[in-house]
Copies of this chain bind each other. A is one copy, B any other.
Amino acid sequence: MAGNSFGEIFRITTFGESHGKAIGVVIDGCPAGLEVDMEFIAQQLQRRKPGQSAITTQRKESEAFEIISGIFEGKTEGSPITMLIRNEDQKPQDYEHLKEAYRPSHADFTYETKYGIRDYRGGGRSSARETAARVMAGAMAQLLLTKEGISISAYVSQVGNLKLEKDYSELNLSATDSNPVRCPDEATARQMIELIEATKAKGDTIGGIVSAVIQGCPVGLGEPVFDKLHADLAKAMLSINAVHGFEYGSGFKGSSKYGSENNDIYTTDANKKIITTTNHSGGIQGGISNGMDIYFNVAFKPVATLMQPQMTVTKEGAETEIKGKGRHDPCVVPRAVPIVEAMAALVIADHLLRLRSAKW
């Protein structure tokens, strides 16, 4: 109801403010008996962590997470799993100047108006710091998916006007993490890095797109009519800070197509399994996975905090100038890759459990 929970059976609730004591997550509904790979969770957090390279924010966030509950002798025990990261390296003085002014295209104004109170330190609850909690929870979900043979791979496919024109099937997705911008095409990656560095040098920021593919899903994930698999993926993605758009399968381009171009014809593979010859449906038909690859794009707007002066108003409506202090990302998409994967994993894990109730 108050919006801090996600999922129906595999259900997470995140908590914590950017400059409060800690951020964290409770997972309620993770089945018992799953071995917890702490290394894997740490690794996912590491991928989201600021300060990994010259093109990301230099804020130093602790990577140390603590499991508070729900794990017994290395396995999930069926009770709520709580994970916590203490906030460190806080520089609240970097935010003191924001106490009175509303940062453009941030949540300062809307939060203060809605709640009558605002934690102005780094955006408080509205900070992307919250996504670390999602990454921890998503890593737990991914542990389940791995056991089911399901993999999720996200990567950067656009930064500013630089578009990776290749389809995911033409890319070596295991190369995604080999460069700091997380674009699996080395040549494009180099250009993207240059663009981000140039943008940063101007004190500006730039938008981009993360693409993702989910492979190995069984037929049957997704619930008609409102909880269609792609509807839940859309919500998951749009709930990530700075996301302004989502498309799956043929997406916006599909709107220009004829049905005779866009339809996916059924056939059978060598094992007599029913497949489609094309996959404009993006692995989902009628809201339910059909066993083909699920792929989608997530559009991120440019980061709102600029290292340039911008005009704004105070609470009282007086004009004032503001300029970003501290440490911020010039482009959010490289660090968004593990966040997109985490949210996708949460959706799939939840629907895997929901599928268990489809038949008697």
Contact = CB atoms under 8 A, between A and B. Distances in A.
A78 B160 CA distance: 35
A246 B249 contact: no
Nearest to A288: B110
B9 A2 contact: yes
A80 B255 contact: no
Contacts of A147: 360
A113 to B, nearest CB: 4
Interface stretch (A50-58, A122-130, A177-185): A122-130
Contacts of A29: 1-2, 357
Interface stretch (A13-21, A40-48, A166-174, A186-194): A13-21
Contacts of A11: 1-2
Interface string A179-216: 00000000000000000000100001111110000000
A226 B3 contact: yes
Nearest to A111: B286
Given A9-B2, A125-B77, A301 B249 contact: yes
A224 B126 contact: yes
A280 interface: yes
A239 B228 contact: yes
B254 A302 contact: yes
A320 to B, nearest CB: 9
A89 to B, nearest CB: 18
A282 B32 contact: no
B69 A20 contact: yes
A348 to B, nearest CB: 14
Most buried by B among A28, A160, A209, A248: A28
A247 B248 contact: no
Most buried by B among A69, A111, A233: A69
A107 B15 contact: no
Nearest to A205: B259
Contacts of A251: 244-245, 299
Contact of A268 (B244, B280, B317, B360): B317
Contact of A286 (B110, B225, B317): B110
Interface in A244-271: 244-252, 254-268
6 contacts: A16-B82, A24-B68, A125-B224, A126-B287, A245-B252, A252-B299
A13 B16 contact: no
B3 A258 contact: no
Nearest to A105: B263
Contacts of A355: 114
B288 A118 contact: no
Interface in A130-163: 130, 144, 147, 158, 160-161
Given A110-B289, A219-B114, A286-B107, A274 B313 contact: yes
Contacts of A227: 3, 239
A147 to B, nearest CB: 7
B265 A310 contact: yes
3 interchain residue pairs of minimum CB distance:
A107-B286, A3-B223, A245-B247
A32 B116 contact: yes
